């Protein structure tokens, strides 16, 4: 039976790179995102990257800030795959601002998208992992999870909270042999930096993060990588 991976926000950037890495590695891959056209394109392209014909690709339109849509996505995944080996809570949004100047409701929007989505989807998929005494959760945090910076505002708050969620899950899930890894990447060349005048060499590559996720997951059952900080070689931007 093929192993399976679920990735939120998987049609672009880090999520897309991780999906491509694991489909090439023989996994069933489930991806959710908000834009239907992106999902339709990705469904075709991932299918063409399969290592063997028995692999399945599931793409679903889902606003991860909405609990009911996450429930439907989780149900579709479990119906299609039967079980989940890896969950990558990658979906999120960056909106700049200063706490004392931000528009009302910005914090709530960022918390719902960047934190609650991971909380709810983890809870929906964990019962199967606990029953099987096996699984791996990757939470896409950020260098903003450990260091506040100008114009980071509520985004940084949401990412500090995401790291807190990840640490709590790590402690709770030890007894069930479920691994939890917090990824804290710095500036990566994705759509969030679209239009930048900075050279490509100033950013990390999404493929590097995807390769790291693959390598971390394939360590022995005796070892878990709890937390990884990644930055461009010249430092934060």
How many distinct helices (H) and strands (E) make up the chain?
A: 7, 7
Annotated catalytic residue 155: yes
Residue corresponding to tokens 């290592």: 51
Contact residues for 37 (Cβ-Cβ < 8 A; gap 6+): none
Residue 5: name the closest of 106, 23, 104 by CA.
23
Largest CA distance in the chain: 54
Reported residue count of the chain is: 237
Tell me the H-state helices in 35-194. Answer: 36-47, 67-81, 106-111, 117-132, 153-173
Q: Which of 100, 116, 119, 155 is catalytic?
A: 155
Alpha-carbon distance 231 to 185, whole Å? 6
- 3-state secondary structure (DSSP) of residue 5: strand
Phi, psi dihedrals of residue 28, rounded to the nearest 5°: -75, 140
The catalytic residue positions are: 155
């Amino acid at each position: 039976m093929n192993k399976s991976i679920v990735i939120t926000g998987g049609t672009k950037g880090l999520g897309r790179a991780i999906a491509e890495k694991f489909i090439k590695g023989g996994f069933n891959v489930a991806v959710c995102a908000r834009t239907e056209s992106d999902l339709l394109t990705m469904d075709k392209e991932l299918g063409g990257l399969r290592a063997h014909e028995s692999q399945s690709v599931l793409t679903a339109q889902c606003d991860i800030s909405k609990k009911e849509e996450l429930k439907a996505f989780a149900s579709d995944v479990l119906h299609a795959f039967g079980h989940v080996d890896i969950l990558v809570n990658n979906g999120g949004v960056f909106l700049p601002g200063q706490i004392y100047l931000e528009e009302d409701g910005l914090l709530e929007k960022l918390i719902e998208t960047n934190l609650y989505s991971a909380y709810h989807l983890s809870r929906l998929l964990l019962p199967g992992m606990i029953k099987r005494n096996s699984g791996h959760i990757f939470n896409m945090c950020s260098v903003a999870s450990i260091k506040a910076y100008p114009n980071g505002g509520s985004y940084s708050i949401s990412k500090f909270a995401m790291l807190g969620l990840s640490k709590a899950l790590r402690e709770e899930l030890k007894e069930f042999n479920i691994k939890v890894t917090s990824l804290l990447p710095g500036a990566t060349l994705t759509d969030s930096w679209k239009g930048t005048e900075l050279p490509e060499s100033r950013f990390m590559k999404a493929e590097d993060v995807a390769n790291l996720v693959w390598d971390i997951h394939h360590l022995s059952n005796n070892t878990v990588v709890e937390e990884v900080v990644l930055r461009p070689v010249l430092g934060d931007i």
